[in-house]
Amino acid sequence: MLREAQRRRLIGLEMAEALTRWGVHVTVVEMMPHILPGLFDEEVAAYLTRYIHSQGVDIMVGSRVTEIVGNDEGNVTKVMTSNTEIPSDIVLIAIGVRPNTKLAREAGLEIGKTGGIAVNEYLQTSDPDIYAGGDCVENVHLITGEKVFVPLGSTANKHGRIIANNIMGYKEKFKGVLGTGVVKVFGYNVGKTGLTEFQAREAGFDVVTTLCPATDNAHYYPTHKAVLLKLIADRKTKKVLGLQAAGLGETVKRVDVVATALMFGATVEDLPALDLGYAPPYSTAVDISAHAANVLRNKIDGVAKALTPMEVKRKIDGGDDFIWLDVRTTAEFKKERIEDPRIKLIPLGMLRQRLNELPRDKEIITFCKLSLRGYEAQTILDGEGYQDVKFMDGGLDAWPYGVADDAAASKPLLGESTISQKAA
């Protein structure tokens, strides 16, 4: 949590876009296992990575820059990383920000453990006659109660008004932040509020998550576009903990809705009850944020049982034996599919007739394109008395580890070895 700001790297990706639009070939070198680690968990980062990659940018994750090499004229020639070298004409370093607290330190003011100036809820420093706000102070995270350093223009503006009010005797408190962040990356609208799954687990929550690939408005309305949401809640209290979203479609509105709900401690039961604006150009009749919350409710109630793509991948990497049940149509399967010996295709409409093909003593993981039919398959098999059935969260649309299709061989998406092929 403490290093959230340093891990954001929003401007790095904005620059990658700007340079690409100018015709510059860009390689992003990220030390962490995936891009935007302060904003996203692995699956949403992978979804975004796939898109950025399609725009001509190479992304090398889990890769540490060890040296920037120049020539005798003082120009950069290449970047050495922990596992390769990249010929380069320009190197742009976007490694996050640290607050400039020199003045405050020299004045003897207390500096917090995040590195930002320590302030109380009235934004007074350790000297009550000196107020501080903006990108140099630390804030309270409203979900964890911890101090965080998340410098943002929106927060700085809030600070300004509150400090002015307090100087004038109005006594106003700044309650804190949710770590909300949004950014436009090529055409993708990208955002997060609250905690990521990683952050929520670090903070000790009993985490339940869902991945929802969806369209941002009615599927019959011509402007609808794809998005991926990841909603996170606490199983015990049912409180919403955070949302991540990315896609060509409208995601920022959903981030703002969940950010607003988080300020009031909303549960997964509150989100579907919201009376949000519905018309086909703007949303689906059940808004996708409500849909995601309903999936979490079903999971908490034990009706929906799921594994995340990452959990399925770990089982595969560990050599687990299970039936990986694709319940899409044969036509969909031919067009695009996961290539793995565990895969078995039984279209949902045939499932009840073909139960004899599914042993009852084996783990079954169902999926489809979005895992709506995957979930239905799970409930059908549950109803038939199968004991160990789960669906794969987010279906093929959220599966980041490569699919085979008519046009090409397998297209893996995560892992430096494959993503960075063009660069290496």
Stretch that binds a copy of itself, among 85-93, 108-116, 125-133, 177-185 (CB under 8 A): 177-185
Of residues 4 through 33, those in contact with a copy of itself by CB under 8 A are 10
Closer to a copy of itself at the Cβ: 29 or 257? Answer: 257
Q: Count residues binding a copy of itself (CB under 8 A).
A: 52
Stretch that binds a copy of itself, among 47-55, 231-239, 275-283, 333-341 (CB under 8 A): 275-283
Report the alpha-carbon distance of residue 120 to residue 22 in Å, rounded: 45
Interaxial angle between packed helices 309-317 and 42-54, expressed in degrees from 0 to 180 and rounded to the nearest 10: 90
State the nearest-atom distance from the C-beta of 368 to a copy of itself, in Å.
21
Is 81 within 8 Å of 91 (Cβ atoms)?
no
Stretch that binds a copy of itself, among 53-61, 113-121, 175-183, 387-395 (CB under 8 A): 175-183
Closer to a copy of itself at the Cβ: 57 or 293? Answer: 293
Instruction: DSSP letter for 59, please.
Output: E
DSSP string, 235-302: TTT-BEEEEEEEESS--HHHHHHHHHHHHTT-BTTTGGG------TTT--SS-HHHHHHHHHHHHHTT
Closer to a copy of itself at the Cβ: 47 or 401? Answer: 47
273 lies in the binding site for a copy of itself (CB under 8 A) = yes
Length of the chain: 424
Stretch that binds a copy of itself, among 52-60, 128-136, 256-264, 313-321 (CB under 8 A): 256-264
279 lies in the binding site for a copy of itself (CB under 8 A) = yes
State the nearest-atom distance from the C-beta of 90 to a copy of itself, in Å.
24
Nearest CA to 309 out of 214, 420, 395 is that of 395
Report the alpha-carbon distance of residue 288 to residue 293 in Å, rounded: 8
Stretch that binds a copy of itself, among 63-71, 198-206, 258-266, 321-329 (CB under 8 A): 258-266
- Binding residue for a copy of itself, selected from 88, 209, 294, 366, defined by CB under 8 A: 294
Stretch that binds a copy of itself, among 63-71, 98-106, 281-289, 352-360 (CB under 8 A): 281-289
Residues 6+ apart with CB under 8 A from 168: none
Is 228 within 8 Å of 397 (Cβ atoms)?
yes
Is 54 within 8 Å of 411 (Cβ atoms)?
no
Which pair of structure tokens corresponds to residue 87? 């010929």
Residue 198: φ, ψ to 5°: -60, -50
Stretch that binds a copy of itself, among 88-96, 171-179, 343-351, 398-406 (CB under 8 A): 171-179
DSSP string, 198-249: HHHHHTT--EEEEEEEEESS-TTSTT--EEEEEEEEETTT-BEEEEEEEESS
DSSP string, 350-373: GTTTTGGGS-TTS-EEEE-SSSHH
Of residues 129 through 158, those in contact with a copy of itself by CB under 8 A are 142, 152-158
- Binding residue for a copy of itself, selected from 85, 270, 332, 376, defined by CB under 8 A: 270
Closer to a copy of itself at the Cβ: 285 or 407? Answer: 285
107 lies in the binding site for a copy of itself (CB under 8 A) = no
State the nearest-atom distance from the C-beta of 265 to a copy of itself, in Å.
8
Task: Give bridge partners of residue 226 from the DSSP assignment.
Answer: 215
State the nearest-atom distance from the C-beta of 380 to a copy of itself, in Å.
17
Is 411 within 8 Å of 403 (Cβ atoms)?
yes
Closer to a copy of itself at the Cβ: 277 or 319? Answer: 277
- Binding residue for a copy of itself, selected from 32, 65, 276, 316, defined by CB under 8 A: 276
287 lies in the binding site for a copy of itself (CB under 8 A) = yes
- Binding residue for a copy of itself, selected from 117, 178, 364, 392, defined by CB under 8 A: 178
Which pair of structure tokens corresponds to residue 125? 């420093």
Angle at 417 between CA 228 and CA 313, to 5 degrees: 50
Closer to a copy of itself at the Cβ: 270 or 382? Answer: 270
Stretch that binds a copy of itself, among 124-132, 186-194, 372-380, 394-402 (CB under 8 A): 186-194
420 lies in the binding site for a copy of itself (CB under 8 A) = no
In the complex, which residues of this chain contact a copy of itself (CB under 8 A)?
Answer: 10, 142, 152-158, 161, 174-184, 189, 191, 193, 252-253, 255-257, 259-264, 266, 270, 272-279, 281-283, 285-287, 294
